[in-house]
Structure 1
């Protein structure tokens, strides 16, 4: 790339890709360019944005939009695979995209995905043996289809150098700001975030994900206990109690419960309790200590520790961020 020329970031416009993310990222990089010009300098950093789509017969990939037409082609520094709204970007519909994405990566382009865009990156083979994130509802499906991927949906963004994956659908904002910081500067990133009224850092996907227990596993004895726990998880419950109610030995129950739900009974109860705590923190002014007692924790300190472990925020921080009740005194 010649001195003073903009660095080019491409966005893949695959069939049924989310247009809001495609155009939102295009606008975000435009704002970053404006912020760079305001900060001045002999040659302000700039980003060139291009959109890439399949040819009419799907046999090749072609440029459909260029924010700086007429400039020499110097190659992409980054390529973004946006989220999808309905059908996931897999299979024959993607035609030439997987091979083209592999070729871009081989040429030194950083490949980035957002939400369901991770499936297209996985189709290209670039996530094999790599750590990646996507929307938490895709965790099991993408792991089953591509078992070589190390999926961690607790993270909003995982930056693995030449591969960057972002979580939920609106994580395009976080990814865009990350690329601004990397290819322009942290000061331009901050100025862009302020201009767009978004939080430039400090978010994690765990702040927003909700516990969705597996119920369609086919183990009637475990399902019976799950239904019972839904009504009794605030009580003092032991492994012995659950196994007896399921009509199984403790070791057999523990093994079957973990196989059916993916977690052990203690973790399952913690998830149910924390889900209730989140609800109370969002809508009520009840003190944190009282919430801990209501959901089954005798020690508020233990509750705070588990809450932070699961969500990455303390109960007080969570309430300040997500409170939607009417009593503003709860935020004090």
Structure 2
């Protein structure tokens, strides 16, 4: 029987870590039970493993007992890493034994799946250099600063590359679990687990949940001033040429510095700031789409809809219907 190992961090974790551990365990055990019910052998042994016999969470409010010590596991087929605390550098330091064991197992052929901020553990081990990955949208800026060699995809809910799966975060780890059930069991088992746990199947984006605040931790004063200007001129149509001229920087150099600092081109950043403001208006007011569009500097409804959909994954009308029930009434 093959083995799936769910890691239990010893500290440097939160109640979200517990949710990831328990949720992963329950979904996989249900997948095993489904196979047994249809007359097939259970394909995987599911175990919780760590560096101690039990781990405490939230100042001892909850404890999770492990079934094995990682030192005693010579081979496993899949390792699932739950979310970690927001002090990522501290989490990396505190979970060094787990990180090193994960790296060794990956070299030995194991696949890896990280949930939410568990991605930081994979990145700190150098396993994501040059690869695409996802993490919680609120951790994207910190992740880019710590791991510039990794190709972060902040809009993605799930990435799958070279035997490493990563997940956008929050309770969307359940979507990752359904994805893994389809990979490791089959489509029918994934559909069954989706229905039993009422988890949406085939969801691929976290764009609709993202709150764009802009990367501000970079230390480039000129770019910070440009960001502040963009954010203060929501109702205006701003060209990159005007921006670079305003700060007396050549267009090419301006673009290069802006992308390096924020992870977005000046145009992408401007679009994201404007659409974030539009989202707030659609969530909290009864303004119609045209009114919102004009307030954020768009005059062409088709262009506004296209940019809105590109960033959020839905149309302005769909977004308002989802997040503003009063406006619908």
Q: Which of 64, 67, 70 does residue 66 from structure 2 map onto?
A: 64
Contact 1:239 1:250 in 2 (8 A): no
Q: Secondary structure at the match of 2:297?
A: coil
Q: Distance in 2 between matches of 1:145 and 1:204?
A: 23
User: Could you say if the C-alpha distance between residues 137 and 99 of structure 1 is closer, same or farther in structure 2, counting changes exceeding 3 Å?
Assistant: same
Pairing 1:135-150 to 2, within 5 Å after superposition? 135-150=136-151
- SS of equivalent to 1:266: helix
Alignment of 1:273-312 (within 5 A): 273-312=274-313
Q: 1:188-267, aligned counterparts within 5 Å?
A: 188-215=189-216, 217=218, 222-239=223-240, 242=243, 246=246, 248=248, 251=251, 257=258, 260-267=261-268
Q: Which residue of 1 aligns with 2:12?
A: 16
Aligned residue runs from structure 1 range 173-192, under 5 A: 173-192=174-193
Structure 1 unpaired stretches of 5+? 2-6, 57-62, 67-72
| Distance in 2, Cα, partners of 1:177 & 1:281 | 32
- Give the corresponding residue for 2:82: 82
Alpha-carbon distance between aligned partners in 1 of 2:117 and 2:84, rounded to the nearest angstrom: 6
In 2: Cα distance, 1:226 partner to 1:20 partner: 37
Root-mean-square deviation (Å): 3.1
Shift of 1:302: 0.5
2:110: which partner in 1?
A: 109
Alignment-derived partner of residue 42 in structure 1: 39
Larger radius of gyration: 1
Deviation at 1:173, TM superposition (A): 0.6
CA distance in 2, matches of 1:215, 1:93: 27
TM, length-normalised to structure 2: 0.80
Aligned to 1:4: none
- The superposition leaves residues 279-325 of structure 1 with CA deviations (integer Å, 9 ceiling, x where unpaired) of 233334544344323322111101111112222333233334x3233
**Cα distance in 1 between the residues matched to 2:32 and 2:328:** 39
Q: Is 1:319 equivalent to 2:314 in the alignment?
A: no
- Secondary structure at the residue paired with 2:67? strand
Alignment correspondent of 2:59: none
DSSP 3-state at the match of 1:31? helix
Query: What per-residue deviation string (whole Å, max 9, x for no partner) do you get for residues 137-186 of structure 1?
Result: 33343344334322222211101141111122323211111111112221
Return 266-275 or 233-242, whichever deviates more. 233-242
Q: CA deviation at 1:10?
A: 0.8
Aligned pair in 2 of structure 1 residues 206, 43: CA closer, same or farther (>3 Å)?
same
What is the TM-score of this pair, normalised by structure 1?
0.79
Tell me whether 1:160 sits opposite 2:161 in the alignment. yes
Aligned-pair CA distance for 1:12: 1.0
Q: Any conservation in 1 of the 2:20–2:115 contact (CA below 8 Å)? A: no
Identify unmatched segments of 5+ residues in structure 2.
54-64
Q: How many matched pairs?
A: 308
